[in-house]
Amino acid sequence: MMFTASQIAVLIKGQIEGNPESLANSFGRIEEAQQGQLAFLANPKYEEYLYITNASVVIISDKLELKQPVASTLIRVPDPYSAFASLLHYYQELKTQQLQGVEEPCFISPTAKKGENVFIGAFAYIGEVSEIGNNVKIFPGVYIGNNVKIGDNSLLHPGVKIYHDCIIGKNVTIHAGTVIGGDGFGFAPQPDGSFKKVPQIGNVIIEENVEIGSNATIDRATIGSTIIRAGAKLDNLIQIAHNVEVGTNTVIAAQAGVSGSTKIGNNVMIGGQAGVVGHIQIADYSKINAQSGVSKSIKIPKSAVTGSPAFDYTSALRSQALSRNLPEMEKRITELENQLKLLLEERLNAAHLH
Amino acid sequence: MMFTASQIAVLIKGQIEGNPESLANSFGRIEEAQQGQLAFLANPKYEEYLYITNASVVIISDKLELKQPVASTLIRVPDPYSAFASLLHYYQELKTQQLQGVEEPCFISPTAKKGENVFIGAFAYIGEVSEIGNNVKIFPGVYIGNNVKIGDNSLLHPGVKIYHDCIIGKNVTIHAGTVIGGDGFGFAPQPDGSFKKVPQIGNVIIEENVEIGSNATIDRATIGSTIIRAGAKLDNLIQIAHNVEVGTNTVIAAQAGVSGSTKIGNNVMIGGQAGVVGHIQIADYSKINAQSGVSKSIKIPKSAVTGSPAFDYTSALRSQALSRNLPEMEKRITELENQLKLLLEERLNAAHLH
Amino acid sequence: MMFTASQIAVLIKGQIEGNPESLANSFGRIEEAQQGQLAFLANPKYEEYLYITNASVVIISDKLELKQPVASTLIRVPDPYSAFASLLHYYQELKTQQLQGVEEPCFISPTAKKGENVFIGAFAYIGEVSEIGNNVKIFPGVYIGNNVKIGDNSLLHPGVKIYHDCIIGKNVTIHAGTVIGGDGFGFAPQPDGSFKKVPQIGNVIIEENVEIGSNATIDRATIGSTIIRAGAKLDNLIQIAHNVEVGTNTVIAAQAGVSGSTKIGNNVMIGGQAGVVGHIQIADYSKINAQSGVSKSIKIPKSAVTGSPAFDYTSALRSQALSRNLPEMEKRITELENQLKLLLEERLNAAHLH
């Protein structure tokens, strides 16, 4: 997609300085942008780059006074960062809207229903009685099992797999390779040491406005539903076990894992590679530091924890600092022992003298 | 699939109370079941829900005396939980058995062999001279390389990838996106700081009754075989490196990893996000706690370890508790130092007086 | 592929003893090799197996004096291990070169370009204006988005997904299920507690001679590029966040993760399940131990760190050892307290006496 400076200026209601026909077809940072790119200058620290950038078009503040001539076409607005961000959103939407129609070959069950304005990529698979909402974009190689529902405007990237009976809300984005609805890890130990599978016949429900990264796994419930609430954001390679509930607007960073039946509250933040054991509750607005291992419920909202096992963040930092200084601490104990030994020997000698 | 209460009663040898024509097509928990669902009541704690549930059919104990009228059709059996569990298994088997035939388009090498009663989904790929056993179910988008063997009754979920020469036993289930037989991570350092690949020409052998979760990775051996023994259960996002052996009935929870050439014994339990270094042995019946890092062999069967680096579970818990109390411990040392300083000063003064 | 002993001898410039028509079609370890396999004997410790092996052909040292008769055909060379290793490489190359042509069905955009001698497997997808170099091997089910470049001789295993605009260099190998170019995890918090997506419009650049394992995830940059430099080797299930740079010849073991905008130097080694926070620098030749959590920049080259949070390796080992001995250390403090209490009481009594 190619835009002229004047087209861009209209979109962001800006004033042009320079050639209104300058063309931009991608975005760049002002310090490294190439010809044909659009950049912006918001932080005064970067002003020097304005005079040497190769960007064809640069969005700047309407208050900035130029100190040197500028080769790029300028577009002046009150808030260059917001104007740039809104262009990015506009660009992404345009790109997504261009995805239309059904590529062949793909496999769509005759009993599946699809809404209007849907894109279905090659090698995508849509199972029996599944329902695909309006404006849904299904990339190549996506697998949708039987009796799945995909809400309006949702976007499934290449190779996403959604097992039977799962429900995906509106405006959900799932990145490549993620698996929704695989069997929960449930096996009953037998007297001979072997394990018998516990059938996992629940499903996964993902509410609206959720985004999930690449190669994550969200298991179906044993009975009932594993639930990801509205607005939650999950990063790559995350594990969500059966019957877990992740609250509204909760954010989970890459490679973290939540064990079975645990209920994560709303607006919780979980750092990368953190783990949460099963069957506990995490209060709203809690913060769980990266690599923490949470082994019991967090009952007080806005708690912050770290460490494995995790405990209160501030105390943990103090303990960690002392833990590093253990050699020093041990020296102090040895010194005390030596001094005390001396005193005790003197006392003994004194006793003998008496 | 739709069943009447009387059909269900025959399967579990129960006595019907109420309408024998009530229909159920799925399962629910008694406290949240909807019309058309089958539930059970085993725990007396939940009896109140029996009188208000919307479940169409409920399995209850043949000894339970009703305290109020019940809208659902009841089926009475000696052990409601076992009856319900057996129905789940029956239902799962029926669902799997329904999978039949070959969906188009798929890619099956003319030199591949397939047994009876096999399901091959659309976009599945079966390479040269590979052999698919009887009753195997290969979901859409599965990749099976050349010279692979898949044992009878095994089930490969969507997008599973099995590299050439690997051997999968009978009754094995592998969930979506898991990769079996990728190259082990072997690179020889060169004098210039670069690395030269060590070809990985072994394979992976997965024995019977193994279940593996979603998006896991099990690497092929450098030479010889990486082996997962009969009955082992591996969760999602697990990493098994080249030449590892995982013992019979060993259970490994999500996001755990085992490094190259390590031999995990039988009936071992490894917690989530735990790591085991390479070239060590883990004795039978060992328990490795979640997030542990096992850095040396565990030689005594039934050992339990935790921590990173991992050591004896009971000692580790005591050390962890003390570790949290380090600020307290440091106070005690400072107090000792102050008191001792006082004593030493007095002693010095006394010496001066003499 | 089947080779006679004499064909093998020509390849490695060795001398044959025994039947030059003996056939080998795979490789084995001398202690477990079967008929039809080629083995080698380099370590004298294994000489006993030479006299009982079932291997059809064995490569041995030209200096070895046989103590018993040998059934296998022998090939004598100055350095058996190197000769064997070169055969492995030769075998791998042959296998890869055999991959030719385009399997059907696959999806290749009319605007995509492909070089000579390319293999494209069934169900592979190649988007608009993408460019595939010479000798590239694209396995079944690979997804390549729009405007992607794949350098000569690169190899993409089954189900690899490469999002639009990414650039893959020459001689790159990517294993099954890995996702290159998914959106970085960028969301701006809103006043109501929800998050607004920050469009991720950069790309991923992977330079030449890089190898990446299975089911890894490398996110595209917000703006600019996430870069994996030449010769880097990344294992399975690794997470590389947006705008990260991984240096030349750096090695990262399985399940490790690097957060956004961090710059990892050259020749760094990162252990399995380690994590590195965002926006820091790691100096060249640093070693980060498995399961470490690196929370601040490592500024001195050749540093070694361990622990979470990570610090100097040698100090950390000493602290970890003391940490395990905390119960012992606490006993010493209690003993000191008791002794000192005694002394203080005596002093008090003495004072009273005076």
Say yes or no for a CB contact (<8 Å) between C237 and B239: yes
Chain A residues inside the 8 Å CB shell of B122: 107, 125
What SS3 state is found at B315? helix
Say yes or no for a CB contact (<8 Å) between B224 and C26: no
Q: What are phi and psi of C351, to 5 degrees?
A: -60, -40
Query: What pLDDT shows up at residue A314?
Result: 92
| Chains near B (3 or more Cβ pairs under 8 Å) | A, C
Q: How far is A107 from chain B (nearest CA, A)?
A: 7
Chain C residues inside the 8 Å CB shell of B316: 324
In the numeric block, which tokens belong to residue B85? 């569990």
Q: Give DSSP secondary structure letters for C114-126.
A: E-SS-EE-TT-EE
Query: What pLDDT shows up at residue A93?
Result: 86
Total CB pairs under 8 A between chain A and B: 175
Q: Provide the pairing of β-strand B131-132 with B113-114.
A: parallel
Active-site residue flag, B242: yes
Q: How far is B333 from chain C (nearest CA, A)?
A: 7
Kindly list the catalytic residues of C.
242
Chain B residues inside the 8 Å CB shell of A242: none
In the numeric block, which tokens belong to residue C333? 């403090």
Task: Say whether residue C140 is in contact with chain B using an 8 A CB cutoff.
Answer: yes
Confidence of residue C324 (pLDDT cuts 50, 70, 90): confident
What residue in C sits closest to B255 (Cα-Cα)?
Answer: C255
Taking the C-alpha atoms of residue B73 and residue B75, their distance in angstroms, rounded to an integer, is 7
pLDDT tens digit sequence for A20-61: 999 998 888 899 899 999 999 998 899 999 999 999 999 999
**Comparing C-alpha atoms, which of B311, B251, C301, B310 is closest to residue A188?**
B251
In the numeric block, which tokens belong to residue B10? 């025959």
What's the gap between Cα A311 and its chain centre? Answer: 24
Q: Of chain A residues 277-316, which have a CB less than 8 A from chain C?
A: 290-291, 308
Say yes or no for a CB contact (<8 Å) between C176 and B143: yes
Q: Provide the pairing of β-strand A131-132 with C211-212.
A: unpaired
Q: Which of B29, B141, B211 sits opposite A141 (nearest CB)?
A: B141
Taking the C-alpha atoms of residue B260 and residue B245, their distance in angstroms, rounded to an integer, is 9
Q: Of chain C residues 35-64, which have a CB less than 8 A from chain B?
A: none
Say yes or no for a CB contact (<8 Å) between C157 and B182: yes
Helix H segments across chain C? 5-12, 47-50, 80-97, 313-324, 326-353
Say yes or no for a CB contact (<8 Å) between C324 and B319: yes
pLDDT tens digit sequence for A231-250: 999 999 999 999 999 999 99
Residue C309, preceding bond cis, omega within 30 degrees? yes
Total CB pairs under 8 A between chain B and C: 175
Paired with C27 in beta bridges are C38
Confidence of residue A354 (pLDDT cuts 50, 70, 90): low
Chain A residues inside the 8 Å CB shell of C195: 231, 233, 249, 251
How does pLDDT run along chain B (354 residues), one tens digit per residue? 789 999 999 999 999 999 999 999 888 889 989 999 999 999 889 999 999 999 999 999 999 999 999 999 999 999 998 898 889 888 888 888 889 999 999 999 999 999 999 999 999 999 999 999 999 999 999 999 999 999 999 999 999 999 999 999 999 999 999 999 999 999 999 999 999 999 999 999 999 999 999 999 999 999 999 999 999 999 999 999 999 999 999 999 999 999 999 999 999 999 999 999 999 999 999 999 999 999 999 999 999 999 999 999 999 999 888 888 888 899 999 999 998 888 888 877 877 766
Kindly list the catalytic residues of A.
242
Query: What pLDDT shows up at residue B85?
Result: 86
Complex confidence, ipTM: 0.92
Q: Of chain B residues 253-282, which have a CB less than 8 A from chain A?
A: 253-255, 266-267, 272-273
Chain B residues inside the 8 Å CB shell of C253: 185, 259
Taking the C-alpha atoms of residue B199 and residue B177, their distance in angstroms, rounded to an integer, is 24
Q: How far apart are the first and last CA of chain B?
A: 102
3-state secondary structure labels for all residues of C19-39: CCCCEECEECCCCCCCCCEEE
pLDDT tens digit sequence for C95-116: 888 899 999 999 999 999 999 9
Paired with B205 in beta bridges are B167, B227
**Comparing C-alpha atoms, which of C163, C80, C180 is closest to residue C125?**
C163
| Chains near C (3 or more Cβ pairs under 8 Å) | A, B
pTM score, whole prediction: 0.93
* Interface mutation vs chain B, best among C53, C179, C267, C273, most B CBs within 10 Å: C273
Taking the C-alpha atoms of residue B205 and residue A92, their distance in angstroms, rounded to an integer, is 45
Taking the C-alpha atoms of residue B199 and residue A87, their distance in angstroms, rounded to an integer, is 48
Task: Say whether residue B115 is in contact with chain C using an 8 A CB cutoff.
Answer: no
The answer for residues whose C-beta is within 8 angstroms of residue A179's C-beta and 6 or more apart is A160, A161, A163, A216, A217, A218, B159, B175, B176, B177, B214, B215, B236
Q: Which of B89, B214, B320 sits opposite A179 (nearest CB)?
A: B214
Q: How far is A32 from chain B (nearest CA, A)?
A: 29
CA triple A276-A278-A279, angle to 5 deg: 125
Task: Say whether residue C344 is in contact with chain A using an 8 A CB cutoff.
Answer: no
The answer for residues whose C-beta is within 8 angstroms of residue B305's C-beta and 6 or more apart is B286, B287, B288, B289, B292, B294, B298, B311, B312, B313, B316
Chain A residues inside the 8 Å CB shell of B326: 318-319, 322-323, 329
